[in-house]
A and B are shown apart, each in its own frame.
Chain A
Amino acid sequence: MADDIIRLEKVCKSYNMGLTSQTEVLHAVDLKVGRGEFTALVGPSGSGKSTLLNIIGLLDRPTSGHLRIKGDDTIGLSEAELTNLRGRAIGFVFQAHHLISAFTALENVMMPMLVDRGFPNVEMETRASELLRSVGLEAVGGNMAANMSGGQQQRVAIARALAMNPDLVLADEPTGNLDTKSSDSVFELMRQVNRKSGTSFLIVTHNLDLARRCDRTIEVVDGRVTG
């Protein structure tokens, strides 16, 4: 049990549509992600994948059910506690890379540590350089994020997601905007990190070929988890 990073128990999510009608997007989802697992989350558009990812990433709250992170229930936590937990336990990689363009690649990698600790310091910079080296971009750390290629930006985003040594990295179609070659190398990078550091990954993808290369595939169809 304690080896589960994430555990969802009967998680429902519904949205108010207008004043009276409600739409349930997730129906009593049960899900586990174990430590060190490299999992793909697949499903057609509109199946509730993104909602599920947002709930797991503590960006959204479930309407009912329980979400445990490393065994601790998150339902009673305040907004500030959730934010804090999110910053420390979870790293994000988004589809449209989403680096902050006003900062350099290195500074983007430092950002989660800076947000957490408030003031920059040398250790942060050292750690960010190491992470950039591990994604093969040490040489371009000083470049502004906006001046990098899509593949490079996504590698920086992966380095950034690892900055706080999270238990879980959530990746929302991390290769969706990349050509096949960059897509492959970004995927391989994540796989490598997973093997080396034991960080769990949960990757939303449309690419069934990539999904097949993961340890496990979870399929979401119409707000229900199968497989």
Chain B
Amino acid sequence: MMNSLLPFEAIAAMRFLREGRMQTLFIVSGIAIGVAVIVFMSAMLTGLQANFITRVLTSQPTIQLVPPDQLARPQRMGPGVFENATIQFPTQRVLSIVEWQKIRDRMKARPEITAVSPTVSGSALAIRGDASRAVSLSGVDPDTYFGIVHMKDYIVSGTATLTSEDIILGTVLAKDLGATAGDKLNLQAASGAMLTLTITGLVDFGNKGVNTRNAYVALRTGQSLLGLPGGATTIDLTVGDIYAAETLAQEIQASNLVEADSWIATNAQFFTAVQAQKNSNVLIMGSVGLSVAFGIAAVLVVSVIQRSQDIGILRAMGASRGQVQRIFLLQGAALGLIGSLVGSALGAGALIYWHSIAREPNGTELFPLILERELFVVTAFAATLVGLLAALAPAQRAAKLDPVEAIRG
């Protein structure tokens, strides 16, 4: 029987939809497919983005402070007169950040910065037997640095420990040198200084360039090899709000004698790609929304014609124009809502399936499965609204029917 909690308009709307089974089924399927595409794409995009961000943020600092570029100034002969206006860009020596301890302490004092770690970096030569490879060497303080770069998560063999005698190598570099964890190798700096170190672990950051070049030693070892005792060439930072990193970086750069590079600036390409993806997503959503709206409107226009006698009878019984209008508005909204619920389930199902079969070559997931409740709520709400808007014209038409003509049929 009738549900006494539902008003007359809702009861009539549901009955009309139920009676027009085929039309309802077809249009709901149409809406569901459109909504499924949107849900699938949005969730996958969110997943891929989240995956990238996790990877970036656990394998590199969000902000890096480096010494400013060394500049040559033109020599002046007198006020406003240059002796030689053309200047050569100077070579960039490996320099420590001036008074880096002070900057480090200043950074530590800021509440929005969650981790601070000084490092020295430069290039060196790794030598093992006949093989020698140029490496980009980072001297790090394991206690603080491993809080920024989650070394443990990327170690594929050995352990993430660094004493002054240890070194961690990228996997490809280790292969090139024919070395595994536990082996020894020689590290030679440009100055000629040479050290023999033990390989404690191999890391794979999922990036061939990085895996071929990177080597990590303890901060003091790095300092002595690179000829920068007590120095730090970079200060690595992690911030709480990763999307505020660029603003913060600019602020730090403005108030300290350093250059601050945020992950947003160094991964600009990624953000361009995400933005392009988002734009095309919006375009697709818009087109799907429009075709859903036109589909609902078309079905309801036909329904108004089919039901004109019913409408006439209802009007003769004392139903107001407003009541008739609401019956059709509710049908539109209900089609949108039901279609979006079915579509959300379809989209989520497709995503779960795709997530289970789409794998990286090494077997890890291509993207994390992120099904935000917000996405479904927003989609359902938007689809209901689209249905309501699409029903405006047909509902108006139904309300305007002259009961005399409608009954005559």
Chain A residues with a Cβ under 8 A of chain B? 54, 57, 59-60, 79-80, 83-84, 86-88, 92, 94, 96, 98, 100-103, 107, 110-112, 114-116, 118-122, 125, 160, 164
Closest to B309 in A: A98
3 A-B pairs with the lowest CB-CB distances in the bound complex, closest first: A87-B318, A102-B15, A102-B19
Q: A83 to chain B: closest CB distance in Å? A: 5
Whether, in the assembled complex, B255 has its beta carbon less than 8 Å from a beta carbon of chain A, the answer is no
Residues from chain A with a CB closer than 8 A to the CB of B320 are: 80, 83-84
Residues from chain A with a CB closer than 8 A to the CB of B12 are: 102
- Stretch from B2-10, B45-53, B213-221 that touches the partner: B2-10
Point out the residue from B11, B15, B407 that lies within 8 Å of A120, measured CB to CB: B11
- With A100-B314, A102-B19, A107-B2 given, is the CB distance from A114 to B323 under 8 Å? no
- With A102-B15, A103-B15 given, is the CB distance from A115 to B321 under 8 Å? no
For chain B, the bracket of interface size reads 20 to 34
Q: Are B318 and A86 closer than 8 Å at their CB atoms?
A: yes
Interface centre among B4, B318, B404 (most CB of A within 10 A): B318
Q: Are B321 and A79 closer than 8 Å at their CB atoms?
A: yes
What is the predominant secondary structure among interface residues of chain B facing chain A?
Answer: helix
Whether, in the assembled complex, B317 has its beta carbon less than 8 Å from a beta carbon of chain A, the answer is yes
Number of A-B contacts (CB under 8 A): 83
- In Å, the complex CA distance between A101 and B12 comes to 11
Complex A-B: 6 CB contacts under 8 Å:
A86-B318, A94-B313, A98-B313, A102-B15, A122-B4, A164-B318
Residues of B1-60 whose CB lies within 8 A of A: 1-8, 11-12, 15-16, 18-19
Q: Are B15 and A88 closer than 8 Å at their CB atoms?
A: no
Point out the residue from B4, B16, B312, B314 that lies within 8 Å of A121, measured CB to CB: B4
- With A98-B309, A100-B310 given, is the CB distance from A112 to B317 under 8 Å? yes
Closest to B403 in A: A59
Whether, in the assembled complex, B316 has its beta carbon less than 8 Å from a beta carbon of chain A, the answer is yes
Point out the residue from B3, B7, B319, B404 that lies within 8 Å of A60, measured CB to CB: B404
Interface centre among A60, A98, A100, A110 (most CB of B within 10 A): A100
- With A54-B404, A107-B2, A121-B4 given, is the CB distance from A92 to B15 under 8 Å? no
- In Å, the complex CA distance between A98 and B314 comes to 10
Q: A86-B318, A103-B15 are in contact. List 12 more A-B contacts (CB 8 A).
A: A54-B404, A59-B403, A83-B315, A86-B317, A92-B316, A94-B407, A114-B2, A114-B8, A118-B7, A119-B5, A120-B8, A160-B317
Residues from chain B with a CB closer than 8 A to the CB of A60 are: 404
Residues from chain B with a CB closer than 8 A to the CB of A116 are: 318
Q: A93 to chain B: closest CB distance in Å? A: 10
Point out the residue from A94, A112, A120 that lies within 8 Å of B2, measured CB to CB: A120
